[in-house]
Chain A
Amino acid sequence: RKEVEQDPGPFNVPEGATVAFNCTYSNSASQSFFWYRQDCRKEPKLLMSVYSSGNEDGRFTAQLNRASQYISLLIRDSKLSDSATYLCVVRFNFGNEKLTFGTGTRLTIIP
Chain B
Amino acid sequence: DGGITQSPKYLFRKEGQNVTLSCEQNLNHDAMYWYRQDPGQGLRLIYYSQIVNDFQKGDIAEGYSVSREKKESFPLTVTSAQKNPTAFYLCASARTANYGYTFGSGTRLTVV
Contacts and interface: CB of A to CB of B under 8 A. Distances in A.
A97 B96 contact: yes
Interface residues of B, number: 24
Contacts, number: 50
Q: Is the interface of A mostly helix, strand, loop or mixed?
A: strand
B94 to A, nearest CB: 7
A36 B101 CA distance: 10
Interface string A21-32: 000000000011
A89 B102 CA distance: 13
B97 A99 contact: yes
Interface of B: 31, 33, 35, 41-43, 45, 48, 50, 58, 88, 90, 94, 96-106
Given A32-B100, A97-B94, 18 more contacts: A31-B98, A43-B90, A43-B103, A43-B105, A44-B43, A45-B103, A46-B100, A46-B101, A49-B99, A87-B42, A91-B97, A97-B31, A97-B50, A97-B97, A98-B48, A99-B101, A101-B43, A102-B42
10 contacts: A32-B98, A32-B100, A43-B106, A44-B43, A46-B100, A46-B102, A97-B50, A98-B45, A101-B43, A103-B42
